[in-house]
Chains A and B, each alone.
Chain A
């Protein structure tokens, strides 16, 4: 295999941009956008530009396990063409089942070469969860289970990005009863920096932002307690939602076809999970800043939150209570429990008048005697 040479000569990102035919102006626009997305101030634009001009491309291995490739799709549709062209298509990806031309032995060799040559340097991006059930046979590539591949490739990775809800928390395939034993990356790999970028899919600009941050500063971005980049997952969708004033006012959509829905009231009562969901949807929006679910009249389903498939119905705030049928929610059960309690107390009250009749009678007699004494 002679693709060794291709790996050795490393152009910088800026060189690649130029070769691709973009102007300096396009490049600076891209840099400004990225700087804003990763939450840096204006003065950092120079720093980001310099990093992209001088730093050699970073080798990236992008693995696909149990997933639907919606993360890749989202990434490819980042609003700025340079994201797709440069970060993905042209430069970074040494290995990606979806996007590379090579297949079979060739592809596996690329993977091996990259791993050997850039041991401890490459960025490992993972899309999808790892099935651990039945010894991992549910997802195998080139005769190896996902877990074997993950262990081998993560060994020499500088950092790991867990793309999407699959890799960060298991997503739909880990929903009960989780037949394949789908497991997120952070539960399998210890001792490596792991950046979780949850969402189904995550926003393309957010994905690009995470990579650019890593390129610029050579270290992972600041993460919150759940391991997500603070720049994008620090705020609830609810707190950045443009419909928030309707929530505070108490004005809600009651059904999807009512007058309130036409007026654009808050979607809280039709199941919006925005108040419990941390993501940048309401700020960055989707498809180049066109819209996001709530803007198009659909409640947030909380796709970037852990276990969102099992967290109750999508169009209802009331949480269903597993083990008591599909329709039972906490309040239904509470009312039943309250009814049972009231009935129990009523029975007890009646029983008291029989079981303690002598005591009650004696006390009454005592009291009456005292009353009479007062009169005399």
Chain B
């Protein structure tokens, strides 16, 4: 009976996203959604049909309050993720995001050919096998981290003059460097669009990978598991950006 299904590959279960990474991911997603919605309101509040006096309502006040609260969550969550980039497992390591080898760029090119141009090799459809991030995703996440940084700098920079706490005050130099709050606010607003477009592409690609590869891409950020074919796993054929030196030769040979 078992022999009949030998051509079906057995899947190995790999614990890719540790619990702190998963918590970080969803907290971050929630914070970003809240920040975008409240941010849009703050930049262009909807007309309020109300005959109440100003003293009886606090709509803009609440939107701002939630925006600032979400900003603190976003900021500390971001700091935590940076820390986890040094102590977490290898899929969470900073080397997954910042190219430290030539192979990183080769892999980006490979991903581009396979997943975007959908080129075939010898008439055969190809798969790019990575367990954590592929190199293309890695470098885009790195750009996203830079966008996080821009938002933290400009956001807390604008907030600094309203705050009496030392932490936001640390960012008071940002509007000074940019020559005032007006430009700072603009940059803060423009950068938000990166997050919106990133989110759309990010969610699409999660579905794409799950659809084409069937390795549990979507659920991995809930349970932490991804699955990889036994033979790929044993022959070490999967790709990972910036691998240890021993892996390099084998993969490049392949």
Pair A250/B208 contact, Cβ less than 8 Å: no
Q: Mark A222-235, 1 if CB is under 8 A from B, else 0.
A: 00011000000000
A356 near B44 with CB under 8 A, answer no
Q: Which residues of A contact B125 (CB under 8 A)?
A: 355-359
B-facing mask of A297-340, CB < 8 A → 1, else 0? 00000100111100110000111010000000011011001100
Stretch at the interface among A156-164, A204-212, A267-275, A284-292: A267-275
The verdict on B253 contacting chain A, using a C-beta distance below 8 Å, is no
Contact of A356 among B57, B192, B212 (CB under 8 A): B212
Is the CB–CB distance between B47 and A254 below 8 Å?
yes
| A252 with B45: CB separation less than 8 A | yes
| Residue B201, interface by CB 8 Å | yes
Q: State the CA gap A246–B213 with chains docked (Å).
A: 55
Among the listed B48, B173, B204, which residue makes an inter-chain contact with A345, where contact means beta carbons less than 8 Å apart? B204
Contact status B58-A276, CB under 8 Å: no
B223 close to chain A: CB less than 8 A: no
Residue of B44, B47, B181, B204 contacting most chain A CB atoms (<10 Å):
B181
Which residues of chain B in 21-43 are interfacial with respect to chain A, using CB atoms and an 8 Å cutoff?
43
What residues of A have a CB within 8 angstroms of the CB of B190 in the complex?
Answer: 321, 330
Contacts of B176 in A (CB 8 A): 225-226
A247 in the interface (beta carbon within 8 A): yes
B182 touches A311 (CB 8 A): yes
Contact B212 A359 (CB under 8 A): yes
Q: A305-B182, A307-B182, A318-B44 are in contact. Are A249 and B60 (CB under 8 A)?
A: yes
Which positions 240-295 of chain A face chain B at CB distance < 8 Å?
A: 245-252, 254, 268-269, 273, 275-278
Partner of A369, one of B5, B56, B189, B214: B5
Closest to A306 in B: B179
Classify the interface of chain B: helix, strand, loop or mixed.
helix
CB atoms of B61 and A269 under 8 A apart: no
A residues within 8 A CB of B200?
A: 338, 341-342, 345
B102 to chain A, nearest CB (A): 28
Interfacial chain B residues near A359, Cβ < 8 Å: 125, 127, 212-213
B183 within 8 A of A: yes
Given A341-B200, A359-B127, answer yes or no on A348-B208 (Cβ-Cβ < 8 Å). Answer: yes
- Closest residue of chain B to A275 (Cβ to Cβ) is B181
Q: Report how many residues on chain B are interfacial, defined by Cβ distance under 8 Å.
A: 51
Q: Which residues of B contact A318 (CB under 8 A)?
A: 43-44
Is the CB–CB distance between B208 and A225 below 8 Å? no
Cross-chain contact A276 with B181 (CB below 8 angstroms): yes
Asked if B69 lies at the interface with its beta carbon under 8 angstroms from chain A, I say no
**Do A252 and B127 touch across chains, with their CB atoms under 8 A apart?**
no
How many Å lie between the Cα of A226 and that of B178 in the bound state? 11
Within 8 A of A (CB), among B186-226: 186, 189-190, 192-193, 196-197, 200-201, 204, 208, 211-214
Q: Which of B47, B180, B186, B211 has the most CB of A within 10 A?
A: B180
With most chain B CB atoms within 10 A of its CB, the pick from A249, A337, A370 is A249
Chain B, Cβ-Cβ closest to A353: B211
Min C-beta distance of B48 to chain A, whole Å: 5
- Given A249-B61, A356-B125, are A345 and B181 also a contact pair (CB < 8 Å)? no
Interface centre among B55, B120, B189 (most CB of A within 10 A): B189
Which listed residue, A251, A363, A369, touches B54 by the CB 8 Å rule?
A251
> Which residues on A sit within 8 Å (CB–CB) of B45?
250, 252, 268-269
Would B127 and A248 count as touching, CB distance under 8 A?
no
Residue of A whose beta carbon sits closest to that of B41: A250
B95-110 to A contact mask, C-beta < 8 Å, 1/0: 0000000000000000
Q: Are B61 and A225 in contact (CB under 8 A)?
A: no
CB distance B211 to A352 under 8 Å? yes
What's the least CB distance linking A220 to chain B, in Å?
A: 18
A273 to B50, alpha carbons, bound, how many Å? 25
- Nearest residue (CB) in A for B124 is A358
- A137-B38 Cα distance, complex, nearest whole Å: 51
19 contacts between A and B (CB under 8 A): A249-B48, A249-B60, A251-B54, A251-B57, A269-B45, A277-B181, A305-B182, A306-B179, A311-B182, A312-B186, A319-B189, A334-B193, A338-B193, A341-B197, A352-B118, A359-B212, A363-B214, A366-B8, A366-B9
A residues lining the B interface (CB < 8 Å): 169, 225-226, 236, 239, 245-252, 254, 268-269, 273, 275-278, 302, 305-308, 311-312, 317-319, 321, 330-331, 333-334, 337-338, 341-342, 345, 348-349, 351-352, 355-360, 363, 366-367, 369-370, 373
Given contacts A302-B182, A366-B8, 11 further A-B pairs with CB under 8 A are A225-B172, A248-B61, A249-B57, A250-B59, A250-B60, A251-B57, A252-B48, A275-B181, A312-B182, A319-B189, A367-B214
Top 8 A-B pairs, shortest CB-CB distance: A250-B59, A355-B118, A276-B181, A334-B193, A249-B54, A248-B61, A245-B54, A306-B179
